[in-house]
Chains A and B, each alone.
Chain A
Amino acid sequence: MLGFAGRVLDVNMTDCTVRKSELSESLVKAYLGGRGINARLLWDLLRPGTDPYSPDNALIIGSGALTCTTAPSSGRTTVTCKSPATGLYVKSSVGGHFGSEMKFAGYDFLIVRGASKKPRALIIRDEDVKLIDASHLWGLGVKETNQIVKKDLGDMAVKVACIGQAGENLVQFASLMCSVYHAAARGGTGAVMGSKGLKAIAVRGSGEVTVAEPERFGQLSEAVRKAFRDDMNGRKYFLFGTGTFDCGPSYNYLREPLDSSDIVSGPYLLKQGYIKRQVGCFGCTQSCHRYTEVDSGPYEGTYTLGPEYETFSALGAGIGIIDPETLIKVNDMVSDLGMDTISTGVVLEWAMESYERGVLSKEDTDGLELCFGSDEAVLKAVHAMAHREGRLGALLSLGLRKASAKVGKDSYKWAMVNAKGLEQSKVDVRTIKSYALAFAVNPRGPDHLHTECMAAWGGSGAARGLMERVTGKHWPEAAAEYPRIVRWHEQIYAASDSLGFCAFTCTAGHAVLEREMADLYSLATGYAVSPDQLMTAGERIVALERCFNTREGADRRLDDLPWRMMNEPVSWGRLKGMVSSKEWLDQMLDEYYALHGWDVETGVPNRNTLEALGLADVANKLGEDAPKQKRE
Chain B
Amino acid sequence: MGQRVETKLFKPDFGDCLPMVSVPALKQRMLMLTDYETCSGCQSCVMACSLTKMKVFSPSKSLVTLRKVEDRCLGVPVVCEHCDDPPCQAACPVSAITKDHSSGVVSVNRELCTGCKTCEKACPFGAGTIKFWDDRAIVCDLCNGDPACVRTCTQKALMFLPATRATVARKAELARRRRSILASIGGI
Task: List A residues at the B interface (Cβ < 8 Å).
Answer: 68-70, 75, 97, 100, 104, 143, 146-147, 156-157, 179-181, 206-211, 214-215, 217-218, 222, 225, 229, 238, 277-287, 289, 291, 303, 305
Contacts and interface: CB of A to CB of B under 8 A. Distances in A.
B44 A283 contact: yes
Interface in B137-157: 148, 151-152, 154-155
A179 B47 contact: no
Contact of B57 (A69, A225, A279): A69
B56 A209 contact: yes
Contact of B73 (A75, A100, A211, A305): A305
Most chain A beta-carbon neighbours within 10 Å: one of B37, B38, B42, B67: B42
Given A157-B68, A291-B72, A280 B40 contact: yes
Given A69-B57, A287-B42, A229 B71 contact: no
A70 B152 contact: yes
B55 interface: yes
Nearest to B56: A208
Contacts of B77: none
Contacts of A208: 50, 56-58, 60-61
Nearest to A71: B47
Contact of B154 (A146, A181, A217, A285): A285
Contacts of B40: 277-280, 284, 287, 289
A70 B61 CA distance: 14
B107 interface: no
A292 to B, nearest CB: 9
Interface in B62-88: 67-74
A97 B41 CA distance: 10
B118 interface: no
B48 A70 contact: yes
The list of the 5 closest CB pairs from A to B, nearest first, reads: A208-B58, A280-B42, A280-B40, A287-B40, A291-B73
Contact of B42 (A69, A218, A284): A284
Interface residues on B, range: 20 to 34
B74 to A, nearest CB: 8
Given A68-B47, A283-B42, A284-B42, A147 B152 contact: no
B152 A278 contact: no
A146 B185 CA distance: 16
Contacts of A238: 154
Contacts of B162: none
Interface string B16-34: 0000000000000000000
Contacts of A279: 40-41, 73
Contacts of B61: 208
Given A222-B151, A222-B152, A209 B37 contact: no
B57 A209 contact: yes
Given A70-B51, A277-B73, A287-B154, 15 more contacts: A68-B47, A69-B57, A146-B71, A157-B68, A208-B57, A210-B56, A211-B57, A217-B51, A222-B151, A229-B154, A278-B40, A282-B43, A283-B43, A291-B72, A291-B73
Most chain B beta-carbon neighbours within 10 Å: one of A69, A75, A278, A285: A278
Contacts of A181: 71, 73
A457 B26 CA distance: 52
5 contacts: A104-B58, A146-B70, A222-B151, A277-B74, A282-B42
A180 B70 contact: yes
A222 B71 CA distance: 30
A147 B71 contact: yes
Contacts of B154: 225, 229, 238, 285-287
Contacts of B69: 156
B52 interface: yes
Contacts of B115: none
Nearest to B187: A156
Contacts of A277: 37, 40, 73-74
A156 B68 contact: yes
Contacts of B42: 75, 280-284, 287
A218 B57 CA distance: 11
B147 to A, nearest CB: 13
B59 interface: yes
A282 B47 CA distance: 10
Given A143-B71, A179-B70, A206 B60 contact: yes
Contacts of B47: 68-70, 283
B43 A97 contact: yes
A426 B91 CA distance: 60
Interface in B144-188: 148, 151-152, 154-155, 185-186
A303 B69 CA distance: 13
Contacts of B67: 156
B155 A287 contact: yes
Nearest to A209: B57
Given A283-B47, A287-B154, A287-B155, A70 B71 contact: no
Contacts of A217: 51
Nearest to B37: A277
A499 to B, nearest CB: 15
A229 B185 CA distance: 32
Nearest to A229: B154
Contacts of B70: 146, 179-180
A323 B129 CA distance: 44
A345 B173 CA distance: 44
Contacts of A222: 151-152
Interface string B98-120: 00000000000000000000000
A208 B49 CA distance: 13
B48 A218 contact: yes
Contacts of B148: 218
A104 B47 CA distance: 12
A277 B42 CA distance: 13
Most chain A beta-carbon neighbours within 10 Å: one of B47, B69, B151: B47
Nearest to A285: B154
A146 B52 CA distance: 33
Contacts of A210: 55-57
A215 B155 CA distance: 23
B44 A284 contact: yes
Contacts of A211: 57
A340 B52 CA distance: 40
A227 to B, nearest CB: 12
Contacts of A206: 58-60
Contact of A68 (B57, B72, B74): B57
Nearest to A217: B51
Nearest to B38: A278
A305 B40 CA distance: 12
A279 B60 CA distance: 23
